[in-house]
Amino acid sequence: MNSALLIAFIDSATNLKQVKASTKPDTYVQLQLDKQVNSTNIIKRSINPVWEEGIILFINNPEEDCLNIKIVDAKTETDLYEFFYDISNLSQCDGLEFIKEPVRLDYGNAEVKLIWSLHLKIFKNENFEEYLQKRTLSTSSTSSQPAIERKGSISSIASKQSTNISDIAETAFDSRSSTRSKSPESFIYGRSLQYVGEINMTLRYSLQRQRLIATIQGLSNMHHDNDKKARDLYVKMYLLPERNKASKRKTQVVKNTFNPTFDQQVEFLVPQEELNSKKLEVSVIEEKMLKNVMIARTIIDLQEVSLPFSGSFDLHFKKY
């Protein structure tokens, strides 16, 4: 049962490094807490990005939960910086929050830093579902933007009542920060999601070899707004939460197609006892002459998939 909300406001960063000396990075901030992964918008071609954007995460155990923060270069899909924050540290802060604090990202350079704010909202006398239900009775929804669909009873209530959660976000830093310029939904969710198709695949686990085996069969029902040109596509996968080069897998490129067929198998070394703690990040990439572009993605929580599995997963596109 969720007992708290963590409201994060990502303000800006300074003097970020460049993966390629010839071009500045296209950066976004990714926050991960247990199974929740949310991100800000991408700021293109800047080593001093200003996001002024927030995210709300659900907290199960404020005393033990740990937040993973990454600054990612979307152009090269490289993690530029990563650090962890123990939620319990907020208990030492006045009002369970801090406002626009700098985090030093490079110990060799004090000017490389992230500016952010955090606020912890604890539910003591009522559970989260009751809190949202009470706010529903007193608040009318005027939002036309659909909320992101999430799994689980609390998350589904939250997604259907995004206006009510927005009320929490709007008051979190209201008189203490001037960062409330964005709409409530963009403040909470960062990127909005749009269904663009499906990926067909099978998943199974080899107990003898301690391997997770994924067979990527192909894509179906793909649509790309009003762009009707065929594309050169491939699928790239990472095993989470590591998301490093060792866990990176990808298919061959299928050229000039809308719904490519891959029929390609990839494997990940995963001990059986760790399988339920892993997730698969699956991205559809368009190969281009100058740079490759991610056009769709899904994250598969292996704890929620009964293996062996054969079927499809919805793919979504992030509107920037």
Q: What is the pLDDT of residue 128?
A: 54
What are the angstrom distances between the C-alpha of 298 and each of 8, 12, 28?
Answer: 23, 27, 18
Contacts for 219-226: CB closer than 8 Å, 24+ residues apart:
219/259, 219/260, 219/284, 219/315, 220/259, 220/312, 221/197, 221/259, 222/196, 222/197, 222/258, 222/259, 222/296, 222/315, 223/196, 223/197, 224/196, 224/295
- Region 105-109: mean pLDDT is 79
DSSP string, 234-289: EEEEEEETT-SGGG-EE---EEEESS-EEEEEEEEE--GGGGGG-EEEEEEEE--S
DSSP string, 30-45: EEEETTEEEE---B-S
- Region 176-188: mean pLDDT is 33
What are the angstrom distances between the C-alpha of 235 and each of 27, 107, 120, 213, 282?
Answer: 22, 36, 38, 15, 7
Residue 263 has pLDDT above 50, yes or no: yes
Q: What is the pLDDT of residue 117?
A: 92
pLDDT tier, 70 (very low <50, low <70, confident <90, very high otherwise): very high
Phi-psi region of 153 (alpha: psi -120 to 50; beta: other; left: phi over 0): alpha
Q: Which residues pair with 188 in a beta bridge?
A: none
Residue ranges of the chain that CATH labels 2.60.40.150: 1-190, 192-319
- Range from 109-118, 149-158, 166-175, 198-207 that averages highest in pLDDT: 198-207
Return the SS3 of 195: strand
Number of H helices, E strands in the chain: 4, 17
pLDDT tier, 310 (very low <50, low <70, confident <90, very high otherwise): very high
Q: Which residues pair with 266 in a beta bridge?
A: 214
Give the list of residues 6+ apart from residue 314 with CB closer than 8 angstroms, or none.
Answer: 195, 197, 198, 298
Give the list of residues 6+ apart from residue 130 with CB closer than 8 angstroms, or none.
Answer: none
Domain covering 192-319 assigned CATH 3.40.50.410 in the classification = no
Q: What is the pLDDT of residue 274?
A: 93
Residue showing tokens 């993973």: 68
CB–CB of 68/32 below 8 Å?
yes
Higher pLDDT, 163 or 294: 294
Q: To the nearest 5 percent, what fractions of the chain are helix, strand and coil?
A: 20, 50, 35
Residue 282 has pLDDT above 50, yes or no: yes
CB–CB of 299/282 below 8 Å?
yes
Query: In 3D, which of 267, 297, 314 has the Cα closest to residue 72?
Result: 297
What are the angstrom distances between the C-alpha of 65 and each of 20, 151, 280?
Answer: 35, 19, 21
27-49 pLDDT per residue, tens: 999 999 888 889 998 999 999 99
Return the SS3 of 155: helix
What's the rounded Cα separation, in Å, for the pair 193 and 187? Answer: 14
Residue showing tokens 């005027």: 142
What CATH class has 1-190? Answer: mainly beta
Query: In 3D, which of 281, 320, 220, 317 has the Cα closest to residue 79?
Result: 281
